[in-house]
């Protein structure tokens, strides 16, 4: 998202917050705190992947409600 673009709708803000969370929140410290062995590493990676999938799903569900000139806008499929 380009700087200076105002929040046009609540779903627009939700989308941008989800995108920021998915792309810019590092999990290294959490990984270091939670992973002690091979089993916990497998659980961590699986859990993190599940959460990323949930966030992407929430983003997709908002794409048709983005401003029409937004780079990620997609028309709702019927």
Q: What is the pLDDT of residues 16-74, one digit of tens each?
A: 999 999 999 999 999 999 999 999 999 999 999 999 999 999 999 999 999 999 999 99
* 44 inside domain: yes
pLDDT, residue 77, reads: 82
* 42 inside domain: yes
Residue 4 reports pLDDT greater than 70 = no
* 45 inside domain: yes
Q: How far apart are CA 70 and CA 1, in angstroms?
A: 8
Boundaries of domain holding 62: 36-66
Q: Please, which residues have CB within 8 angstroms of residue 16's CB and are 6 or more apart in sequence?
A: 1, 7
* 25 inside domain: no
Q: Please, which residues have CB within 8 angstroms of residue 41's CB and are 6 or more apart in sequence?
A: 35
């Amino acid at each position: 998202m380009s700087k200076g673009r105002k929040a046009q709708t609540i779903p627009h803000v939700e989308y941008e917050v989800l995108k920021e969370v998915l792309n810019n929140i590092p999990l290294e410290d959490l990984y270091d705190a939670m992973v002690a062995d091979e089993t916990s590493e497998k659980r961590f990676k699986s859990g993190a992947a599940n959460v990323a999938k949930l966030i992407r799903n929430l983003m997709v569900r908002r794409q048709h409600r983005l401003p029409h000139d937004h780079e990620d806008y997609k028309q709702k499929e019927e």
